[in-house]
């Protein structure tokens, strides 16, 4: 993957209405899928019908998005649009792909990871709001993925853009990058990993009784 930015490079794959639907489907709000930042110690009551008790109530997810950052993993089959993008990337790179939904309702909040690098190649589609993205040259030498966040970078970025809905940025593995929320933000990152289990998600989109 090449580090690059594409103005109006993608159809909008998700919007606020889609997110509203998602956060109200409580079984999808599992604590091991939903990453709330900054971290919080949240408690709640579960009713008698709850089969998986470690799912955030919609009210807590809503509040967390309004006040901070929420990242929702394993979302590539949430909608047909997301599934289609993941399928295209898996075919292009011959590697498994997921969809991670990033949302922030507080533009004054600093990104908790700061400038960092990842194990994955990433395609990011801006869906709502405006986000500034900076990308620097890849990390040189030994890569410590356990300590890859909040890096101090003294060189000029190779890409520095404000992304609007429909814009796309490609961030290759090990390239240092920083996303700064300028307005309330909704974006989807499609991470691609060639170094892990080769199994690829089922991508057929099924319909019933049409």
CATH number at residue 66: 2.60.120.650
pTM of the model: 0.93
Q: Which of the two residues, 43 and 156, has the higher pLDDT score?
A: 156
Q: Is residue 47 part of a domain?
A: no
pLDDT in tens, 24-38: 999 999 999 999 988
Per-residue pLDDT at 198 exceeds 80:
no
What order do you get walking across the sheet with 131-138 strand by strand?
159-163, 131-138, 175-181
Phi, psi of 68 (to 5 degrees): -155, -140
What pLDDT is recorded for position 23?
A: 96
Q: Is residue 86 part of a domain?
A: yes
Looking at beta carbons, which pairs linking 42-47 to residues 24 or more positions away fall under 8 Å? none
Per-residue pLDDT at 111 exceeds 80:
no
In sequence order, the 6+-apart residues with CB closer than 8 A to the CB of 208 are none
Q: Is residue 157 part of a domain?
A: yes
Q: Is residue 207 part of a domain?
A: no
Q: Which of the two residues, 142 and 200, has the higher pLDDT score?
A: 200
For the chain, the domain total comes to 1
Among residues of the chain, what percentage have pLDDT more than 90?
78
Q: Is residue 172 part of a domain?
A: yes
State both tokens at 22: 């998602």
What pLDDT is recorded for position 109?
A: 83
Structural domain including 131 reads: 4-38+53-192
pLDDT in tens, 3-26: 999 999 999 999 999 999 999 999
CB 124 within 8 A of CB 85: no
Among residues of the chain, what percentage have pLDDT more than 70?
100
Which 3 state secondary structure label does DSSP give 5? strand
Per-residue pLDDT at 110 exceeds 80:
no
Q: Is residue 88 part of a domain?
A: yes
Phi, psi of 28 (to 5 degrees): -85, -10
Instruction: Tell me the pLDDT of the chain averaged across its residues.
Output: 93
Mean pLDDT of 147-159: 89
What pLDDT is recorded for position 13?
A: 97
Per-residue pLDDT at 112 exceeds 90:
no
């Amino acid at each position: 993957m090449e580090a690059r930015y594409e103005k109006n490079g993608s159809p909008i794959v998700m919007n606020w209405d889609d997110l509203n639907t998602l956060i109200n489907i409580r079984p999808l709000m599992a604590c091991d899928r939903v990453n709330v930042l900054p971290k919080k110690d949240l408690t709640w009551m579960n009713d008698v019908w709850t089969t998986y008790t470690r799912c955030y109530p919609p009210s807590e997810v809503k509040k967390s998005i309004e006040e901070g950052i929420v990242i929702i993993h394993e979302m590539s089959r949430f909608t047909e649009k997301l599934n289609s993008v993941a399928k295209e990337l898996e075919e292009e790179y011959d590697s498994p792909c997921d969809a991670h939904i990033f949302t922030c309702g507080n533009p004054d909040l600093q990104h908790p990871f700061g400038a960092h690098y990842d194990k994955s190649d990433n395609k990011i589609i801006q869906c709502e709001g405006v986000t500034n993205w900076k990308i620097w040259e890849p990390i040189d030498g030994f890569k410590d993925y356990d300590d890859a966040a909040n890096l101090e970078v003294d060189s000029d970025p190779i890409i520095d853009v404000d992304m609007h809905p429909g814009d796309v940025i490609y961030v290759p593995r090990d390239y240092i990058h920083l996303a700064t929320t300028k307005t309330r933000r909704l974006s989807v990152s499609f991470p691609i990993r060639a170094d892990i289990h080769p199994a690829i998600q089922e991508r057929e989109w099924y319909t019933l009784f049409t």
